Structure 1
Amino acid sequence: MKAERAKEILVELLKIPSPSGQEDRLALHIMEFLHRLDYDVHIESDGKVIDLVVNPEAELFFEVHMDTIDVRAEPFVRGNIVYGTGASDVKGGLASVLLMLESLKKDKQDLNVGVVFVSDEEKEGMGSALFMERYKPKMAIVIEPTDLEVHIAHAGNIEAYFEVDGKEAHGACPESGINAIDQAYKMIEELKALEPFKQKGKYFDAYIGLQELICENPYYLIPALCKGRFEARLLPNQEVEDVLDLMEPILDEYTLRYEYTEIWDGYELDESEEIVQLAKKAMEEVDLEDFGGMRSWTDAINFMYNGTKTIVFGPGNLDISHTKGERIDVRDVVKASEFLRKVNEIYGRS
C-alpha cells in the first residue's frame, strides 16, 4: 500500500518537468500538496530562485532540491521501478519527504523538524545559499541518492575548463605539427600521476579525469586547439589549496588558459556529532546499516560552510543519476520516508 502511494506521488512529480531555472510549476504543485495537508509554507525568493520552507524555526532541517538536469528520458513505470529524468536525482527523495509529511498528518503526529525545498542545486546551488543566508539551522539532512546509506563524509572537488594549444600541420604529417589532443591527454596523465590522486579513501578514492573534450578539425589537419573540462574528486581530508599548488605548474605548462568553475573542500563528521547519533538511532530502528561518503557536489557543502552539521541521505543510485536509464525502486522511497519519519520522532523526544 505504501509503495503504491509512493509511486503515485513520484509519478506526479516526474510529470512536471523542472530543469534548473524552471522549478515554478513543481513548486506550485508541492505548495498545493502541503496546503491540502494543512502545513504552512513560507516562500523565500531573491528574484532568481525560490525556496519553500516548512517549520522555519526548527534547528534540524530536511533539505531537498526541486530541480533536475534537462529532461533526457520521459517517465514510465515497470512494476515497482519508476524511470525518467529525476527519478533518482532527486524526485524519488522528494517523494520520500512528501510521503513522510503525509503520513505524519494521517497519524496525527507532530513535525519536529524543518523542511526546505530548494531550487538550482544542479547548476549553482543558489537555492541552498539563499536559505542559508536567511536561516541558520544547527543540523541538516540533505536528501540525495545514496542507496539508503547515511553519508557522514563528503568529497572535495576541483572542476576547470581549459584550452590546450598545438601547431597545425597537414593531417598526414604529424611530425610537422603538435597535436593539441595529444597534449591534453599528456596533461591529464601528468595530473593523474600526482600523489593526491593516488590516494585511497575509506568511502571512495581520489580521482581526476576528463569529462569533456572538444576539437573541431574539418580540414584534415593536426589539431592546433582543443577545449575541455576536467574534474577532480578529493578525499575529505585533502586540502584543496594544497592540491592546487601541485596541479597549477602542469596546467601552466600545457594550457593557453584555464578557469576553475568549482572548488570546495570536503569534510567528514565525527560519529559523536549529534546529527550522526540521531541518524544512527533511526538506522537501527528501520534496519539500515551503512555509513558512507558522498562523491558529488550537493547542497551539504553550502550548509557545512555556514556552520550547519550536515549528513546526506536518500533513496536512489548516484551512478545512474543523470543517465537516460535513470530509475528508482519505490520500495526504497518508502524506506527513506520511514527513516526520515523516525529521525523526526527521535529528535522530538530529545
Structure 2
Amino acid sequence: MKTERAKEILLNLLKIPSPSGSEDRIALHIMEFLHKLDYDVHIESDGEIIDLVVNPDAELFYEVHMDTIPMRAEPFVRGNIVYGTGASDIKGGIAAILLMLEELKKEDKDLNVGIVFVSDEEHGGRGSALFMERYRPKMAVVLEPTDLEVHIAHAGNIEAYFEVDGKEAHGACPESGINAIDQTFKMLEELKKLEPFNAKGKYFDAHIGLQELVCDNPYYLIPALCRGRVEARLLPDQEVEDILDLMEPIFEEYTLKYEYTEIWDGYELEPDEEIVVLAKKAMEATEIDEFGGMRSWTDAINFVYNGTRTIVFGPGNLDISHTKNEHIDVRDVVTASEFLKALNEIFGKS
C-alpha cells in the first residue's frame, strides 16, 4: 500500500538528523536509496556544500532541500500522521520524490525530469546557489510545504537586524530615562503605518513585524539597549528598493545601527508560461485544484534570479513547520508523489 510505503520512507528520513551544515548522513542515505534503484547520482560540492543530482541534462528539475532546522521534536507516528522535525519542511517532499522514483522503476517508465537534493536551504541557500552556478535548467519545481497547492507566486522579503538605544535610569524613575523597549515599539508602529505594509494581495497580504527582540536588563533599570530582528513580507509586484527608501528614514531615527541581512524581490508567473501550463495538466490528472503563493524565502528565488521559471509545490503545512508540533499526513505525501509522477510523464510527451 502506497501510504504505508510512504510512511516507511519518511520515517527513515526523519530518523537521520540533518540540520544545516550536517547533511552528510542524509545525503548518503538518499544516495544508497537511489543506487538500489539503479539511478546514477552526480555529486556536486564546493568543499562545504553537497548537492546530489540525478539526470543532470534535463530541462525541468525537481529540487528539494535535505537540511532542516536543529532537532526540536523526535519522530513518531499516529495513524497516517507522522510527527517530527523536518516532517513538513521538507522531508515529506523528499519522501514524495523517492516514492515517485521507486514507482517509475516498478512500472519501467522513464525519468524525464532532473532531480536535485540540495544542502543549506534553512541557513543560507548555498546549495541551490551552487547548483545554479553549474546547471541552468529551463524550468523547476521547488518542493516546500504548500498544502498541495501549486504556488505560481512568491513573496519578496526584507530582513534587518537592529540596535535601539535609550537612556539608563533607575527602574522607579522612568521619567529620567529613555526606555529602549518603548522606542523599539514606536519604531515598529511607524514601520507598520507605511503604505506598502498595508497592501492586500491575491494569495497573501504584505506584512512587517518583529521576529526577535533581546533586551538585557539584569538590574532594576529602565532598559537602555535592545537588539532585534524585523521581517517584512512583500507582495510579488512590490519593489524592494522602493520600500527600503521608505524604511530607512525610520531606522535612521530610531536605531543606533541596523543591517539588512535579506533583501529580495518576489515574482509571479504568467498563466501561459510553459511550467504553469504543464502544472495545470498534472493538477487535472491528480485532482489538485488550488493555485497559491509562497510566503517565505525558498530556493525558488535562487532559481528565478538565474532565469529558471519555477513553481513551488509540496506536501506539508508551512504554518506548523519549524514548530515542536511539526507533522504531515502521509496521504498528502502520496498525492504529491502522484502529481510529480504525472508532471514527469506530461513533460516527457511535450
Normalising by the residue count of structure 1, what TM-score does the alignment of the two structures yield? Answer: 1.00
1:335 equivalent in structure 2: 335
Equivalent-residue separation in structure 2 for 1:301 and 1:148 (angstroms):
19
Q: Which residue of 1 aligns with 2:295?
A: 295
Partner of 1:225: 225
* 1:101-112 equivalences in 2 (<5 Å): 101-112=101-112
2:260, 2:104 → 1: CA distance? 44
Equivalent-residue separation in structure 2 for 1:316 and 1:292 (angstroms): 14
User: Take 1:135 and 1:285, find their aligned partners in 2: how far apart are those partners?
Assistant: 30
Q: Which residue of structure 1 lines up, in the alignment, with residue 142 of structure 2?
A: 142
Name the structure 2 match of 1:29: 29
- 1:132 maps to which residue? 132
Distance of 1:244 and 1:250 partners within structure 2: 10
The equivalences for 1:1-350 within 5 A come to 1-350=1-350
State the 1:198 CA deviation. Answer: 0.6
After TM superposition, give the deviation of residue 91 of structure 1 in Å. Answer: 0.2
Shift of 1:344: 0.1
Deviation at 1:199, TM superposition (A): 0.3
Corresponding letter in the other structure for 2:299: D
Q: CA deviation at 1:48?
A: 1.1
Whole-angstrom distance in 2 between the partners of 1:140 and 1:344: 12
CA distance in 2 between counterparts of 1:290 and 1:74 reads 32
Q: Which sections of structure 1, spanning at least 5 residues, go unmatched? A: none
Deviation at 1:297, TM superposition (A): 0.3
Q: Deviations over 1:16-66 (max 9, x none)?
A: 000000000000000000000000000000011000000000000000000
Task: For structure 2, list consecutive stretches of 5 or more residues without a partner in the other structure.
Answer: none
- Aligned mates of 2:282, 2:218 — CA distance in 1: 59
Alignment coverage as a number of residue pairs:
350
Aligned equivalents of 1:233, 1:137: Cα separation in 2: 28
AA aligned to 2:197 is F
- Cα offset for 1:213? 0.3
Q: Distance in 2 between matches of 1:171 and 1:18?
A: 45
Q: Residue deviations 1:110-139, cap 9 Å, x none?
A: 000000000000010000000000000000
**For 1:219 and 1:293, how far apart are their aligned partners in 2?**
46
Residue deviations 1:153-196, cap 9 Å, x none?
A: 00000001000000011001101100000000000110000000
In the TM superposition, residue 203 of structure 1 has moved relative to its aligned partner by 0.2
CA distance in 1, matches of 2:21, 2:49: 7
Please report the RMSD computed on the Cα atoms of aligned residues, expressed in angstroms: 0.3
Residue identity in the other structure for 1:90? I
Query: Sequence identity, in percent?
Result: 82
Which amino acid in 1 is paired with 2:81? I
